[in-house]
Structure 1
Amino acid sequence: MSQAPLPLRTLFCIGVNQNFFDATAEEAKAVWAAFSQMMSGIGKLPGVRVLGNLDDDRSMVGPSLNWPWTTYVLADVPDLDTVHAACNLFRTTPVGDGAYKLWKYCRVEARVGRELVIPD
């Protein structure tokens, strides 16, 4: 009897880029709605268990071009295809009327590993 594979411990590192900061108030509101949809979408992917998130927007001002990122989502994900599907939400989630997708305003990088277990 084989044991089910361990989930991939995945840290989704999300950076907000300059396009968001250049957006009108109406456009920024549409970005927030799309961002909320994307965050919910990660948690709804089959087999994904979101463990938590961290928002660094109070101590980091302006766009994040690389580390440190603006916000992070830590999740257990069943496989690499699902990690890719979560990242793809940035490419496919429409903002406002759908002329642009979320990746115009923010970016994502997924770090994939495993849960660190300290042996007894």
Structure 2
Amino acid sequence: MTEPTTHRVLFCMGINQNFMDATKEEMGDVWQAFSAMMKGIDELPGVTILGIMDDDRIQVGPSYDSPWTAYIMADVPDLETVIEACNFFRTTPVGDGTYSLWKYCKVEARIGRKLVVPE
């Protein structure tokens, strides 16, 4: 068996109570920051986003544990890039930059390998 050249990563993202307590204007700022975070992940060298899923239509309220709220599945070249992707939650400013994205949502990366269905 050959070693994979990339990691298959599922970024599990959850919204927390700070988002639920935010004003509509602040929620809009969070959405802009969330969009910037997703774009940042997409633009990391060697990252291929395979799909993004949001289950906000069937889950209402904060995500305290699994199930999460949104997911990004991607092929990522190495562990350092996974860490860099997660770091967007710490460094992406919301609104005027007083707070970063991680005040409003969390991320957990699940790292594995591509599983191929046997013929």
1:86 and 2:88 aligned: no
Secondary structure of residue in 2 paired with 1:118: coil
Q: Which residue number corresponds to residue 53 of structure 2?
A: 54
Partners of 1:11 and 1:5 in 2: how far apart? 16
How many corresponding residue pairs?
118
> Identity percentage over the alignment?
65
Partners of 2:4 and 2:53 in 1: how far apart? 27
Give the AA of the match of 1:79: D
Structure 2 residue runs without a partner (length 5+):
none
Q: Which residue number corresponds to residue 10 of structure 1?
A: 9
Secondary structure of residue in 2 paired with 1:111: strand
Q: Which residue number corresponds to residue 110 of structure 1?
A: 109
Name segments (4+ residues, structure 1) moved above 6 Å.
none
- Per the normalisation by structure 1, the TM-score is 0.94
Deviations 1:39-63 (A, max 9, x none): 0000000000000011000100100
Partners of 2:59 and 2:4 in 1: how far apart? 37
Computed over aligned residues only, the root mean square deviation of the Cα atoms, in angstroms, reads 1.3
1:95 and 2:82 aligned: no
Q: Which residue number corresponds to residue 118 of structure 2?
A: 119
Q: Which residue number corresponds to residue 67 of structure 1?
A: 66
Q: Call closer, same or farther: CA 1:93–1:27 in 2, change over 3 Å.
A: same
Give the AA of the match of 1:22: D
Question: Is contact 2:7–2:78 with CA below 8 Å preserved after alignment?
Answer: yes
1:25 and 2:62 aligned: no
Partners of 2:3 and 2:112 in 1: how far apart? 17
